[in-house]
Amino acid sequence: MAPSWVKNLTPSAPQGSELLAKERAQSNLSVEQLSEFLHTKDVLQRQDAILKILKSEKAFDKSQNYFSGRETRFTNALARAKRLQQLAAKHGWTQDEYQVATELISEPGPYGLHASMFLITLRDQGTSEQHQLFLHKAERYEYIGCYAQTELGHGSNVRGLETTATWNAEDKTFTIHTPQLTAAKWWIGSLGRTANHAVVMAQLIIDGKSHGPHPFVVQIRDLRSHQPLENVHVGDIGPKFGYNTMDNGFLLFNRVKIPHANMLAKFSSVDPQSGKYIKPPSASLVYGTLTWVRSTIVLQSGGVLARGVTIAIRYCAVRRQFQDRDAKSLDAGENQVLNYTMVQVRLLPLLAATFALHFTGRGMMALYQENQKKMAGDVGKAGQPGRGPSPEELFPSTDLLADLHATSCGLKALASTTAAEGLEICRRACGGHGYSSFSGIGSWYADYLPTTTWEGDNYMLTQQVARYLLKSARAVLEGDTSDNDTTRILRTFLARRDMGAAFDVLGRDEDIVAAFAWRTSFLTFESLKHRDEDKNSWNNLLVDFWRLSTAHSQYLIVKNFYDALRSDTVSQELNQGTVVLMHKLFRLHALHTLEREASEFFSSAAVTVRQIQLARTKAVMNLLEEIRPHAVRLVDAWRFPDWQLDSSLGRYDGKVYEDLFHRASEMNPLNAITIDPYPGNDVLVKKDDRDAFKSKL
């Protein structure tokens, strides 16, 4: 505890609160209007109400989060998960409201995979009989489950899973078995300590023949003692770079029998009488869920990144270091770090990216919902009693679905990489204090990182995009007339290829979009040539494909941002000043991307060397200067409550140094131990004991 002479100290002037007040005074951006545009008024009110409830609950006290070890963090997270369930029941929260609460709490919780993948899989892939057997108990948290797909030896390659589910005709059961160590289920969220059930993805084997991975419901722990059942070996896989409030687990089976009813049979099943395998109606159905999950990742990425940007921009407005080298007076105070162009060029393009990703996520979700509607209509027409619709009936034109699938793959990869790497840039822009846990960025970054690997590794996914683009390019060359955005940009490129491009990227926003489209098309036809004419191996082209996917996804983000700004919603809901500022953010995002990827824009002849030079030295630098005064208000519009950020550096009121000091001096449990510092003695740790040991000095 600090003595009184310490308590009277204040930071040297000007105070952080004054600096942030000045920042907010120098911009007339309407934070409220932009917030409501980003989140809707409803959501913001809901967030305020839920925040009030959470803050008043002892279970959600965050003050020891950064200090606690893994065991405490996990058991606290479990206590929070339980309390959250109780509150949800008490207040009758919807799924959306529950989601708001978990975002405010901002840590993965042990019910996480139960509440998402376990329930969803039971609901979507179970028959109504299976809903009776499993789903309703799961919804009441009597069965607590997880989704056990990944194995020790198999992540991305689902077809390669080694766990087996062998059909026993004699007693109409399945035997779930782990034949090798590499078949151990691994990384399964909520499994390590929490779940008593699992949906296990296993190779279905009938009469020695494998029919590929299918989902089986398996009880793994006793409902009363919570001990593993016989022939089940289950536990937590150990500490991770982040995500340590979650009990990711392992799971092995030694020939465990389960009833026929435990194979989730909505799409494929085994006929219990004949033992015959009944095929699913369409493999594409699976695409649906994955596409939704990936679209959600894209939608969230803007907000994920915005947390780091909020913290870094507020802190860089409070932190002052050195005088401006050209300053006239030697008495000029130190300069706000945010005034340095080297800091601006790192943070402001990320600020622009938060909006770009947000609008792209919205566009992506709209496309997904449009497709769902279309499919529902088609299923309605095609569905006949007694049999499932055929794939062709389900998707009379697979065009939109294929486009959506490829788009979601590419954007998931680019958006999550942008958010993850952007967070680290924000952390470093905070200088030394960015390294303190109290910055609030490190743990958020570490928890977010797996997003670059799950739901499709970001590098693997780029192959899906390239495959789709090559297929589209072949179709266009063969005269396909289908009209979607991809075929349109490819056709435009072909038509103008020989004339060359002359995009006015510095003058016209639509030309920026066209230049990105041109580059994608150029790279597509180049890759197609390498594959189809030069007969390059697929493996040899992976690096090209990754570039192509990145280029295409960057185009999609630029286009979505541009389209959003031209939409009626924008002109109706935002005032003119905000719209102008948004256009500047659009240009900053696009031109900064263009400049970073300059060599591809050159080689495709989309722009000239001179244009890139001007973009870099003039356009981007001017935009930084124009956006700079609005930076703090722009991050304010994301509306993260301090309680959610849990960051000394990102405090709304700018009391950065007071908060860092308070946490270190008054809350840090390490300061309650006294050690013996001398090499000849024992460590002799004493807790809170002021005259504990005699040194041998």
Q: Shortest gap between Cβ of 436 and a second copy (angstroms)? A: 6
Residue 388 in marked binding region: no
Distance (Å) of CA 126 to CA 120, 167, 215, 265, 629: 9, 18, 10, 6, 55
How many Cα atoms sit within 13 Å of 354 on the Cβ side? 22
**Tokens 């793959």 map to which residue?**
409
Dihedral pair phi/psi, residue 508, rounded to 5°: -125, 125
User: 206 or 684, CB closer to a second copy?
Assistant: 684
Footprint of a second copy on residues 145-174 (CB under 8 A)? 150, 152-157, 160, 162
Q: Which amino acid is at 613?
A: Q
Footprint of a second copy on residues 463-522 (CB under 8 A)? none
| CA atoms of 486 and 489, how far apart (whole Å) | 5
Q: Shortest gap between Cβ of 442 and a second copy (angstroms)? A: 4
Residue of 34, 184, 619, 627 interacting with a second copy (CB under 8 A): 184
Q: Shortest gap between Cβ of 465 and a second copy (angstroms)? A: 13
Q: Which of these ranges, 17-25, 178-186, 206-214, 636-644, lies near a second copy under the rule CB under 8 A? A: 178-186
Rule CB under 8 A: is residue 196 a binding residue for a second copy?
Answer: yes
Residue of 55, 259, 609, 642 interacting with a second copy (CB under 8 A): 609
| CA atoms of 33 and 150, how far apart (whole Å) | 44
Footprint of a second copy on residues 207-236 (CB under 8 A)? 223-227, 231, 233, 235-236
Q: Shortest gap between Cβ of 33 and a second copy (angstroms)? A: 32
Judge whether 435 and 317 are in contact, CB under 8 Å.
no
645: nearest Cα among 370, 439, 427: 439
Rule CB under 8 A: is residue 69 a binding residue for a second copy?
Answer: yes
Residue of 49, 169, 181, 580 interacting with a second copy (CB under 8 A): 181
Residue of 378, 621, 626, 641 interacting with a second copy (CB under 8 A): 621
How many Cα atoms sit within 13 Å of 370 on the Cβ side? 10
User: 495 or 683, CB closer to a second copy?
Assistant: 683
How many Cα atoms sit within 13 Å of 672 on the Cβ side? 7
Q: Which residues contact 650 (CB under 8 A, 6 or more apart)?
A: 307, 310, 311, 312, 314, 315, 439, 440, 640, 642
| CA atoms of 38 and 44, how far apart (whole Å) | 10
User: 138 or 565, CB closer to a second copy?
Assistant: 138
Q: Shortest gap between Cβ of 238 and a second copy (angstroms)? A: 5
465: nearest Cα among 416, 405, 523, 415: 405
Footprint of a second copy on residues 649-668 (CB under 8 A)? 657-658, 660-661, 663-665, 667-668
CA angle (41, 44, 45) in 5-degree steps: 85
User: 12 or 99, CB closer to a second copy?
Assistant: 12
Cβ neighbour number for residue 421 with a 10 Å cutoff: 14
Rule CB under 8 A: is residue 599 a binding residue for a second copy?
Answer: yes
| CA atoms of 528 and 453, how far apart (whole Å) | 27
User: 66 or 147, CB closer to a second copy?
Assistant: 66
Residue 189 in marked binding region: yes
Q: Shortest gap between Cβ of 122 and a second copy (angstroms)? A: 17
Partners of 250 in the β-ladder: 235
Dihedral pair phi/psi, residue 68, rounded to 5°: -75, 150
Rule CB under 8 A: is residue 33 a binding residue for a second copy?
Answer: no
Count of residues that interact with a second copy, criterion CB under 8 A: 150
Active site residue 392: no
Rule CB under 8 A: is residue 287 a binding residue for a second copy?
Answer: no
User: 51 or 605, CB closer to a second copy?
Assistant: 605
Rule CB under 8 A: is residue 67 a binding residue for a second copy?
Answer: yes
Pairing of strands 197-206, 147-148: parallel
Q: Which residue in the list 23, 151, 162, 455 is annotated as catalytic?
A: 455
User: 372 or 536, CB closer to a second copy?
Assistant: 536
Rule CB under 8 A: is residue 449 a binding residue for a second copy?
Answer: yes
| CA atoms of 329 and 331, how far apart (whole Å) | 5
Annotated binding site for FAD: 150, 189
Q: Catalytic residue numbers?
A: 455
Annotated binding site: 150, 189
